[in-house]
Chains A and B, each alone.
Chain A
């Protein structure tokens, strides 16, 4: 069975502060993990992905995430928040034949000026 848990449905940070969005997963096979961002009234856009190899992956817009197998986590970080980072963020795991994705419930990020 597979599932994705995103702790904190709403996160607020000040502009310039560290962004940390949490994602934990359960998977019966080695997981492939993804972070997506959704701006208001738009579709989902890939931020970054972990498949194999280096456990620290870098994505677009200065975001990065670290795969920690022992903690079953894939938290998303950005050193300095920008107003344009305000959006909804989704963590997803790929499992099963045919590349099925399972999404977390999302975290809404607010950036305070």
Chain B
């Protein structure tokens, strides 16, 4: 199993540009989520999905869109990048049961100039 994979590892954008961060998992997990990590703030949930065709907002959803057309993939879209979106982004997946821990991807480091 490859686990949770994320691409790209690094990205630099200019303000106003759009891009998609890719996330895929091969463990047949129902639950997938995106977090952003900022210094002193821990990990904050952006969006999550409990299955194909189902998505919902987390703590900090503004400026981001997601979709879940397959069990395996959960892309995160930035429609118009802003400097405040400079962060490290992590994708995580798990089964939906509460006792199931999350598997994390290696992260994408995004800089918005």
Q: Which residue of B lies closest to A98 (CB)?
A: B50
In contact, B98 and A94 (Cβ under 8 angstroms):
yes
Closest Cβ–Cβ distance, residue B56 to chain A (whole Å): 8
Closest Cβ–Cβ distance, residue B57 to chain A (whole Å): 11
CA distance A49 to B103 in the complex (A): 13
**In the complex, what residues of A have CB within 8 A of residue B92's CB?**
44, 101
**In the complex, what residues of A have CB within 8 A of residue B50's CB?**
97-98
**In the complex, what residues of B have CB within 8 A of residue A44's CB?**
43, 90, 92, 102, 104
Q: Which residue of A lies closest to B50 (CB)?
A: A98
**In the complex, what residues of A have CB within 8 A of residue B90's CB?**
43-44
In contact, A45 and B43 (Cβ under 8 angstroms):
no
Query: Given the interface contacts A103-B43, A106-B42, does A43 sit within 8 Å of B102 by beta carbon?
Result: no
- Is B100 at the interface (CB under 8 A from chain A)? yes
- The size class of the interface chain B forms with chain A is 20 to 34
In contact, B41 and A105 (Cβ under 8 angstroms):
yes
Closest Cβ–Cβ distance, residue B33 to chain A (whole Å): 8
> Chain A CB within 10 Å — which of B40, B90, B94, B101 has the most?
B101
CA distance A45 to B106 in the complex (A): 10
**In the complex, what residues of A have CB within 8 A of residue B44's CB?**
103
- Is A99 at the interface (CB under 8 A from chain B)? yes
Closest Cβ–Cβ distance, residue A73 to chain B (whole Å): 18
In contact, A99 and B106 (Cβ under 8 angstroms):
no
- Is A80 at the interface (CB under 8 A from chain B)? no
**In the complex, what residues of A have CB within 8 A of residue B102's CB?**
34, 44, 46, 99, 101
- Is A14 at the interface (CB under 8 A from chain B)? no
Residues of B within 8 A of A (CB): 4, 31, 33, 35, 40-45, 48, 50, 56, 58, 90, 92, 94-102, 104-107
